[in-house]
Structures are given as C-alpha cells and as structure tokens.
Structure 1
Amino acid sequence: MAAPPLRVGVAQMTSTNDLEANYNTCSRLVKEAAAAGVNLLCLPESFSFVAAKDGESLKIAQPLDGPIMQRYSSLARESNIWLSLGGFQEKGPDDSHLYNTHVLLDSSGNIRKTYRKIHLFDVDVPGSMVYKESDSTAAGESIVVAESPVGLLGLTVCYDLRFPELYQQLRFQHHAQILLVPSAFTKVTGEAHWEILLRARAIETQCYVVAAAQAGRHGEKRESYGDSLIIDPWGVVIARLPDRLATGVAVADIDLSRIDSVRRRMPIAQHQRIGSCLKTQSV
C-alpha cells in the first residue's frame, strides 16, 4: 500500500482588529484543511490580529501561554492538524515592544517551535505608507528549523523574504526542506516583488516554499497583496488560490523525493565556494 501523501495547505484571509472574528475565520479554514487531509496548514502573518490604530497590537499582545494561543492550540488538537501560525503578537521584552512570532503547533496543540522575526519592516513604500515596525517590535536573534510530519521546516516571516542569506543558512547549514514564509505584503510591494522573490528563494535553496498571505483591506490605512502560494524546489508554482484576494485554502502534496532529485541533478551544495576558499582583492 502506498504511503499517504504529505499534504500542506496555505491559508489566506483578511484579518482585522477583531480577535473573535479572526479566530472564527481561522477555525473555518482549519476545519476545511483538515477535511481535505492536510497535515500542516500555514496561516499568514498577523492571523489573529491586525491593528487599526497605533498601539493596538501592544495592548493585545500576550505570552505564548496566554488565552489567545491556548485557543489556537485547542483548535489544532480538536482538528488533529499541525498549524503554522505566522506572526503572532507575543508579549515582548518591555512595555513598548512585542515580538512578531511564528508559532508552530503540532496536532496535539503543543508548541513545537517559535521563531521571532529577525528583519523588521522599517521602510517608506513608494506610493504607499511609511512603516516603522521597530517602533513597537523587538527583533529576534535566532534561526529556527523544526521537524514536522511533512519534512524539515525553516521558519521565517514576511520581510525576511528580502534577505536571501537567512534562507541560504536554513538550507545549507540547517538542512531545511520546506521554507515557510507567512506574510502581509503591501499591495505595492506585492505587485512588484512577491512571486519573484518566493520563486527565487525556492530555486536557490532547492526547497519547497509555502507562503500564506494576508489579502485585501484591513481597514482605512492598510491593504495586503494576497496571492498565497506553494512552490516546488524547481521554482514551479504548484498551488495558489484562484482569486488573489479571496479567503480560502490552497493545497499541494509535498514529494520529498522531488527535493532529492533536484538537488542530485544540480548539486549546488557541493559547488559553493563563496565564504570558503575565495580571496578578496583590494581596490
């Protein structure tokens, strides 16, 4: 008898500053994924809360053993599914800062790993808003990988996507097979760079990339691009929602032999030379 598929789901939603409404949406998506045989469902950055006003996120931030995360742990347990919760407002090191934390729950509702976002979004987006994530968010300091039923996961969050060194380390030093990129990309940056960057990370690491995205308008000031994707190690998009802005789940089966085949035929891990034997010439 053939082994059951290693099935991954990527969820898309439009979170607001209503914790209850967001939970209800997540609950529906989790149950939909579980019914489809998904082993690991990935929810986007800020799945539980998107602030409408400055300071709101700090007010609702909680520790990882607080009631918000306990509720999502119960959801994972009741649905018998692993959950990647990308971008939870974890209570931070002081009253002025939180952590933007990617939480991995197993099917018993236990926290397996947490990753605090390293690269903070402090930018002036052309034609859009000025963002200063570091005003209220403390940066993480650790690279995180996690074993799961579908393979070895590399945990990241959103703006991390623009820093390929992180993904290179996840693959070549920590042996990740699947890279998780929960996000809330702006509409402007998403239109320009979202799919290109995701496919580049897949191609250069020879990993699957699973990118759950926020979509649409969260309020008067904030809008996310959407277009949740699953990409294979050759850079091929193998799942996406038909509607870039829709709430829903897209599903794909992970084939670990596909990773092995791509890496064997193009053994870039054996060909790397930068950082080892090359010398730098002075100008």
Structure 2
Amino acid sequence: MKNKYTPLILLSAAALAIFFARAWLANKFTDWYTFQVFETLTVIGSIFMVLKGYRALRRGDWIAALVLGVAIGIGMLFATLFSPYPFFGIVRASFGQAWLRGGFTFLSALGGLTIMRMGGPVPFHAASGHWRETARGILVGLAVGLPLAALNAFALQLTQGHPIEWQNPLASLLDALQPGVVEEVIYRFAMWGLLWLILRNSLSRQSVWAAGALATLVHSYSHLDDLFLQSPLAALIMGAVLTLLWGLPLLILARHRGLESAIAFHWIQDVARFLIGF
C-alpha cells in the first residue's frame, strides 16, 4: 500500500535537491539563485493550470491578474530603491526586469486564481469583488506586520552594522510593492496552490497546511543562498527564524484573510527596510 506521505517526501526531496544543486554549482553559475528556479517552476505550473482550467476563470480574475502584472511592470521601470538580481544572469536592465516581473506576476496570479476556483487554499477577495473582505484583510495584514517590520529594521541595523540612512518615503512605499506583491503572488498564492493540488489526494485534511508549510520553507530559505555557502549552520538557523517570525504569519494571513492580507504584511516589512536604507 502506498504511503500517504510519499508525495510530500518526494516534493521535499526535490526542493532540497534544488538547494544542493545550486550550492554545488555556485562557483560555475554565479548569477543563478534558487529563488529563480523555484519561481520559474511555479510560473510553468501556473501556465499549465491556466491552459487546463481557464474556463473556470471569471472576468474579474483576468482583470485582477492583469492589474497586478501591469502595476508591477510599470513600477519596476521607476524603481530606485529596489534592485532585483539579474535573472539567471541574463535579464539585467530595468526594461527587461519590468516585463519579466510583470509577466511572472500576471501568470502566477492567473494560475493561483485557477486553483482558487477549484477550491484552493488561498482566497483572493478582490478578484471576486469582495471589497469589504479585501479592506479587512489589508488592515489586518498591516496591523500584524507593523511590529514585525520594526523588529526587522532593528535586526538589520544590528546584523549589518551600518547606521540608518533615510530614503525617499514615496519611493519606499512604491518600491516595496515589488517584493511584496511578486513574492506573495508566486509563493503564497500560486506555489501553495500547486503543492496543494499535488498533495490533496494523499494527505486530504493535512494537504492545505502541509503544502503551505513547504511553500513557506522554500520561500524563507531561498533568501539565503550566499549564507548557505559561507556558513550552512547559520543559514539553517536564520531560515528557521525567518519562517517562524515572518513566514508563519504570512501563512496564516493568506489562508484566513486572503492574498491581499499577506501582501500588506510583506509590503510593510519592505517599506520599513527601504525607508531606513537597507
């Protein structure tokens, strides 16, 4: 009889293989990062889901995904504080990054929405025109995120050893949408949904949180490629801290308050970080 945990074990092993492969090839492919691999795989999965289930999408879904993608693309053109890594060492210029990030956001949002219409784990209230739930989710995300944003700012000063350098507040507000929207749409909406689809038959009741936990761990540890090379133990500890303090709230907010709430939480973290010069 097949073990019900086999799909989860295989998914976890595949994620670990990507991390180990990147560490092994780091000297040869210096511009490749694990988050780029995971995000590309998520977009591919999203495209597959849209091609398979586009009939379930509503007009509001297409509009919501398009608005997010266009907003991210245009915002990237004018970003001054946010500077993304070159995509696999190829896409470096702001214009290319604008198309890439906008396209990834649009496709991942559509994939996540397709899964949402199939009963997926994360709601996107704005796509359904539920504006009251959208507003509540955003306010809750900001309220939960603000104290942790202050903690994050303090931790950055402590660990990086340079003083606060105040930046343009408007640029901080706008540029924080780049990581806040893109990462939440990809990891908390599309990836979580894709993993849930894979696990729902084998784990049933546990599939939502198992998939969410795996997506959160991938997201947290994808920030630590360089630290893994310098000090693997420190990276493991740092990833656990990131997951507990920032990943877990995002997981709960996305599940119970919607994608908008997770975006608001993530956004306020980066507003604070950009504002003080980190």
Smaller-chain TM-score range?
under 0.3
The structure richer in strand per residue is 1
Which structure would you say has the larger RCO, counting Cα contacts within 8 Å and 6 or more residues apart?
2
Calculate the TM-score normalised by the size of structure 1: 0.26
TM-score normalised by length of structure 2: 0.26
User: Which of the two has greater helix per residue?
Assistant: 2
